Amino acid sequence: MRLGSTIKLTLGLLIATTMAVVAYAANLPAASSSASYLGSYVWDMNDSWFGGFSALSLGRDGRSMTVLSDRATLATARIRRQGGQISSIEVKTTRPLQSSSGKVLKGRIVDSEGLAIARDGTIYISFEGISRVVKHRKASSRAQVLPRPSEFRSLPINKALEALAIDSRGRLYTLPERALNDDGQIPVWRWNGRTWSTPFTLPPLGNFLPVSADFGPDGRLYLLERDFGLFGFRSRLRRWDITAEGPANEQILLKTAFGTHDNLEGLSVWRDGNGTLRATMISDDNFYSIQRTELVEYALPR
């Protein structure tokens, strides 16, 4: 999500004056967690495209990575690890995404937020500015815009289709950052290859807002959420079993204190060589020098 002008001004003023507090908080344990902190890696490059990362997808080995910026740039990279921890990242490819007409995305149609990659390599992207989900056969191909139901068209700009996930059957799931339904629930839309439906909703909880989602190798749905306050950002990670009757067995795996991490917006859940479930998350620095692009990893309970 691109932060609005009011929040950007607040962010610029507050973070600049509270860096010492944030640095202190970064060394504190999570406010509440059944996940175990593994480590963080600050990623930095001096390239104009770099930054604003809103989504990521890791390969099964945790060493290949695709990242998406909210300025519609898709990049692939190789992660090097030492002792299981990220030690360096090497960018392999970068490509600005194309519209359905083959042009580079500009203006209101740019704001790319969610990323899901199918088993055959097909790339799906969700957007906020004009709420939609698109398909790319490969990164260099033109976008194919999936049908836009009326619910998409009425979503608020900059609070729309923030999260995108794909299940083991190849079905897409997307949900908005801030647009509750008439019952006060978070709507979840599913694409089965032909039509959109609303198979279930998720319960909002406190001031946290959805920013990313993923189906883990365990088949469960994971939701990364964010809150913003005086001393920076805090993050929460929840998960559910998705049953024929809807989501069940909700668990809060992680809830950090303000300033523990930067603006975590992207989530990828995978299993390492030891069989441990891991959540890898990436932060959106909003192209501000006072923020950082941070990859954060937690081990998750079974």
What one-character-per-residue DSSP string does 211-239 give?
EEEEE-TTS-EEEEEEEEETTEEEEEEEE
With bands split at pLDDT 50, 70 and 90, how would you rate the model's confidence at 147? Answer: very high
Q: What are the residues whose beta carbons fall under 8 Å from the beta carbon of 274, sequence distance 6 or more? A: none
How many angstroms separate the CA atoms of 279 and 266, rounded?
Answer: 10
Tell me how far apart the alpha carbons of residues 8 and 17 are, in angstroms, rounded to a whole number: 14
The pLDDT value recorded for residue 106 is 82
**4 versus 16: which is more confidently predicted?**
4
279's tokens: 């959540």
Q: Which of 105-114, 215-224, 230-239 has the lowest mean pLDDT?
A: 105-114
Q: What is the pLDDT confidence band of residue 184, given thresholds at 50, 70 and 90?
A: very high
pLDDT tier at 129 (50, 70, 90 boundaries)?
Answer: confident
CA torsion 17-23-26-29 (nearest 10°) is: -100
Q: How far apart are CA 114 and CA 144, in angstroms?
A: 16
Considering the chain, what is the average pLDDT of its residues? 91
Give Cα separations from 23 to 108, 137, 228 (angstroms). 35, 42, 16
Range 130-151 average pLDDT:
96
Binning pLDDT at 50, 70 and 90, where does residue 2 land? low
The pLDDT value recorded for residue 213 is: 98
Residue 21 has pLDDT above 60, yes or no: no
**Is pLDDT above 90 for 85?**
yes
The predicted model gives 199-225 an average pLDDT of: 98
Residue 183 has pLDDT above 70, yes or no: yes
What pLDDT, on the 0 to 100 scale, is given for residue 158? Answer: 81
Residue 29 has pLDDT above 70, yes or no: no
* Average pLDDT for 125-140: 95
DSSP-based three-state secondary structure for 5: helix
- Written as six digits, the tokens of 157 are 């700009």
What pLDDT sits at residue 20?
A: 37
156-174 pLDDT, tens digit each? 888 899 999 999 999 999 9
Ordered structural domains, the chain, with CATH: 35-299 (2.120.10.30)
Residue type at 43? Answer: W
**Can you give the pLDDT at residue 196?**
98
Residue 78, pLDDT > 90, answer yes
Residue 19's pLDDT band (cuts 50, 70, 90): very low
| Contacts (Cβ under 8 Å, ≥6 apart) of 28 | 257, 260
